[in-house]
Amino acid sequence: MRTTRPTPPRSRRGTSWRYSNTDYIVAGTLIEKVTGRPYPEEVTRRILRPLHLTRTGFPGTSTRLPGPHAHAYLFRPGHAPVDITAQNMSVAGASGEMYSTADDLTRFTAALLGGRLLNPAERRLLTTPAPQTPGGGYALGIERADLSCTTVWGHGGGTYGSATLSFGTPDGHRQLAVSLTPTTLFPTPAQNAGLHALLETAFCGTPEGGGR
């Protein structure tokens, strides 16, 4: 966080919004300051154990993942793909050092949106978009996707060679989690369009939203 201190604010507080992984580093630090314990312990105690998310955890500095798991590859023009699955993700800290499975992600999304982790007032805050968000859909750590038949909430994320997407209906009754092994760090416009079509198919029945 020290590297961000010389950076001036982009706008006055409460007038605009911008995504930053640093915010999650700050959140993890706040958890440790308030509880007096490392944030992985608090996440495990308050979320992973109560929800029985046994395939989700913190590898720390280890580059080994519990199997079975997908493999991540680095693609460079003119070179053979390189397996880069073994990554030390502790560098990401609270912004992305955890591992999980699609099944655990759907169970977490159901609990988050369905009220098992937050009270009604907290859930309203969770889904209240920040000022000036692109499309008006980014709230407290999750974003809104407006489909032809419904609205879903969730988030995507990734690192080199690996990405995930997890969304669910506001009542917590239906979820979709996807694990990907992309060839680029950031999704291309075509990939984003494909993911939106996937959400439409999963929640509305067809890519065009022609029924459930």
Q: Is the pLDDT of residue 146 over 70?
A: yes
Q: Is the pLDDT of residue 84 over 50?
A: yes
Average confidence (pLDDT) over 84-112: 96
Comparing C-alpha atoms, which of 195, 179, 199, 198 is closest to residue 101? 179
Q: Which CATH class is domain 72-204?
A: alpha beta
Between CA 32 and CA 25, with CA 7 as vertex, the angle to 5 degrees is 20
Query: 10 Å Cβ neighbour count for 152?
Result: 24
Q: What pLDDT band is residue 9 in, cutting at 50, 70 and 90?
A: confident
Q: What pLDDT band is residue 210 in, cutting at 50, 70 and 90?
A: very low
Q: What pLDDT band is residue 212 in, cutting at 50, 70 and 90?
A: very low
The Cα 149–Cα 70 span in angstroms is: 32
What does the domain layout of the chain look like in residue ranges?
72-204
Q: Is the pLDDT of residue 49 over 50?
A: yes
Lowest-pLDDT range of 27-31, 136-140, 142-146, 201-205: 136-140
Give the pair of three-digit tokens for residue 61. Answer: 């500095």
